[in-house]
């Protein structure tokens, strides 16, 4: 499947933890933002737009804010690093990557293929 096909096909993504300094933490469900994300469906951010080494302490993430939703960020980073056992971070949410999807820090797995 192409990135665009996966972006449209994946379900809502379960994340766990604080989304901002004002949050007390907990479960958040990320959804596709049709108004923003579909404009970028045919192109991913370049490797130069990411930083980190994929470890839990230094997960792969965008270098700066992107004009897409957190949902897009998770799918993009997962798609890019899905063949490696690594961690990714979008906003304050840390996720473990596997070839089939992502696991939130509370253990909830979201299948992305």
By the 8 A CB rule, do 75 and 102 touch?
A: no
- Give the pair of three-digit tokens for residue 67: 């004009």
- The gap between the terminal CA atoms of the chain, to the nearest Å, is 9
pTM of this prediction?
0.89
Give the pLDDT confidence of 102-111 residue by residue, as tens digits.
999 999 999 9
pLDDT one-digit tens code per residue, 1-46 = 888 889 889 999 999 986 555 455 688 899 999 888 888 877 766 6
DSSP string, 73-106: HHHHHHHHHTTS--EEEETTEEEEEETTEEEETT
DSSP designation for 82: T
Tokens of 94: 């840390």
Taking a C-beta distance cutoff of 8 angstroms, is the pair 8, 32 a contact? yes
Residue extents of the structural domains in the chain? 3-111
């Amino acid at each position: 499947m192409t990135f665009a096909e996966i972006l449209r096909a994946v379900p809502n993504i379960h994340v766990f933890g604080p989304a901002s300094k004002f949050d007390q933490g907990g479960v958040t469900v990320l959804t596709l933002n049709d108004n923003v994300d579909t404009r970028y469906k045919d192109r991913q951010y370049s490797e130069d737009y990411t930083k980190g080494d994929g470890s839990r302490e230094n997960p792969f993430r965008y270098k700066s804010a992107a004009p897409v939703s957190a949902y897009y960020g998770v799918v993009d980073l997962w798609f890019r690093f899905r063949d490696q056992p690594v961690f990714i971070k979008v906003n304050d949410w840390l996720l473990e990557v596997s070839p089939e999807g992502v696991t939130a820090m509370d253990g909830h797995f979201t299948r992305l293929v």
